[in-house]
Every structure is written in structure tokens, then in C-alpha cells.
């Protein structure tokens, strides 16, 4: 890649005015690119979804008319949410996407929201609930370079956190305590959290300390009880007829 002659790849253009030396961000945009790449690395968006945006969420994979109406309404709500992001962020309100049906498109919409936020210059962290617990457990290994406190701080302090598949992990007192630490601290500090789940908030297997905070700080969207994943698989794996 060609190095910018103005900043020599440093990202800052140095100039002299009235005998003083100043620096300004170079117009080549290397600083902005590096910051954006840093946000993407931190977000840890799955490779499959890294380019998904809100415009990519479509009704065409849903065969039921009611499902199509629900998805259209969900996308319209998310657009309203993003248009009013600053005000909603001050309230610390996220979104709870749920459907008992696996593959209904919850994760795809959650990732689309994440990518839209990243393009707005926000720091987002994406993780499944199982990955969160596994990473915490891994810190207990004596050879681990990570520690539980740092891991929890990253989850607690990021401006926007996405917890995918919440409630699919095995419920236990230990898991409940870890999620309570995350949810409660984010609740106290009004940090925005997004969830996807196969459970209604009423049927989550965690106690009310967690659920009541989630209920207060999220808008709930019930996704269609239809698997878009299965339909896409049938369409994409059906051999095309030769003409």
C-alpha cells in the first residue's frame, strides 16, 4: 500500500505557523481507518455477519404473512431506535429480541444493529452467553494470561453490549452470579445492552434480580415463530433446473 507523502503513514500532518509547530489529523484518513479497525476487533462480530446492515434484513425468507409483518415492524422500530440513539442511550435502554424458534433471524438483526452502531463510531462488544461463561472459566486456569476482573470490566464498561442466545446456557448459581454482576453494573451505569433469546423474559431461568433489571432497561421484540434458516437452506440447496 502506498504511504501518504503528507504524514508518512503516521496519520498526523505536521506544519509550522508563527514559529510554532502544530500537528493535525491527515486528510488521508489513516487514523479513522485504524480506529474503525480497532472497533471491529473489539466488537468480535462473527465472520458470517461482519458485513450485515439493517438494509440486509428482508422479509423474503419468511413464508408466513404474519412473520413478514413482524419483521417489517421490528426493522422500523430499530430504525427509529437508531435515529433517536443519543436520547435512548442516556436512558440506558437496549432491546430484547426473543423467539422460541431457533433460526428465526434474531442474531442477524442484533448483529445488524451492532454494525450500524460501529459505523456511527460506537464501541460494541458481541458475545454469546455461553462464550462469556467459558471465557470466565478459562481465567481460572493458572496459565491463563487473562483474569476474571479484566474480562468482566470489558463486558461491564463497553458502551454497547450484545449477549446472544441468552438463557441457552445451563442455569446454575455460579452462572447467575456472573450474569448478575454484568447486568447489575450495566444497569447502575445506564449502559445499553442488547439480548437475543429463545425465552420470553417471563420464562428465563434466572431470578428476578436479573430479569427485573432487563425488563426495565430493554424494549422487547417478539420475533416470528418461524425458522428463516431452514427456508434459506432449502432455497440455497435446491438444485437449479437446467434450461
For residue 96, the surrounding DSSP H or E stretch is strand 94-98
Q: What is the pTM of this model?
A: 0.79
Determine, yes or no, domain membership for 34: no
Determine, yes or no, domain membership for 19: no
* pLDDT tens-digit series, residues 135-162: 898 888 776 667 888 888 889 999 999 9
* Mean local confidence (pLDDT), 112-132: 90
Backbone angle region of 81, left / alpha / beta, with phi > 0 → left and psi within -120 to 50 → alpha: alpha
Determine, yes or no, domain membership for 107: yes
Domain carrying residue 213: 45-237
Q: What is the DSSP letter of 206?
A: S
* Mean local confidence (pLDDT), 7-13: 67
What is the rounded average pLDDT for all residues in the chain? Answer: 85
What is the reported pLDDT for 46? 78
* pLDDT tens-digit series, residues 96-105: 999 999 999 9
* pLDDT tens-digit series, residues 171-197: 889 999 999 999 999 999 999 999 999
What is the reported pLDDT for 17? 78
Question: At 35, phi and psi to the nearest 5?
Answer: -65, -45
Query: Residue 138 maps to which CATH number?
Result: 3.40.50.300
Domain count of the chain?
1
What is the reported pLDDT for 10? 66
Determine, yes or no, domain membership for 164: yes
- Answer yes or no: is pLDDT of 110 > 90: yes
Determine, yes or no, domain membership for 7: no
Question: At 144, phi and psi to the nearest 5?
Answer: -70, 135
Q: Compute CA 193 distance to the chain's CA centroid, rounded to the nearest angstrom.
A: 8
Amino acid at each position: 500500500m502506498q504511504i501518504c507523502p503528507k504524514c508518512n503513514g503516521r496519520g498526523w500532518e505536521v506544519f509550522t505557523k508563527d514559529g510554532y509547530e502544530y500537528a493535525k489529523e491527515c486528510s488521508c484518513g489513516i487514523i479513522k481507518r485504524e480506529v474503525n479497525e480497532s472497533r471491529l476487533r473489539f466488537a468480535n462480530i462473527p465472520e458470517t455477519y461482519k458485513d450485515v446492515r439493517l438494509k440486509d434484513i428482508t422479509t423474503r425468507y419468511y413464508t408466513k404473512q404474519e412473520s413478514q409483518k413482524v419483521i417489517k415492524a421490528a426493522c422500523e422500530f430499530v430504525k427509529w431506535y437508531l435515529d433517536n440513539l443519543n436520547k435512548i442511550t442516556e436512558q440506558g435502554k437496549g432491546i430484547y429480541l426473543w423467539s422460541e424458534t431457533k433460526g428465526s433471524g434474531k442474531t442477524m438483526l442484533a448483529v445488524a444493529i451492532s454494525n450500524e452502531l460501529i459505523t456511527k463510531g460506537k464501541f460494541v462488544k458481541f458475545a454469546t452467553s455461553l462464550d462469556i461463561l467459558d471465557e470466565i472459566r478459562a481465567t481460572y486456569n493458572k496459565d491463563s494470561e487473562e483474569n476474571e476482573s479484566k474480562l468482566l470490566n470489558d463486558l461491564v464498561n463497553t458502551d454497547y453490549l450484545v449477549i446472544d442466545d441468552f438463557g441457552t446456557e445451563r442455569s446454575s448459581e455460579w452462572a447467575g452470579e456472573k450474569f448478575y454482576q454484568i447486568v447489575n453494573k450495566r444497569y447502575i451505569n445506564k449502559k445499553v445492552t442488547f439480548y437475543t433469546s429463545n425465552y420470553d423474559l417471563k420464562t428465563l431461568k434466572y431470578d428476578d434480580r436479573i430479569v427485573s433489571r432487563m425488563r426495565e432497561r430493554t424494549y422487547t421484540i417478539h420475533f416470528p415463530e418461524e425458522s428463516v434458516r431452514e427456508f434459506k437452506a432449502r432455497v440455497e440447496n435446491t438444485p437449479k433446473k437446467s434450461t
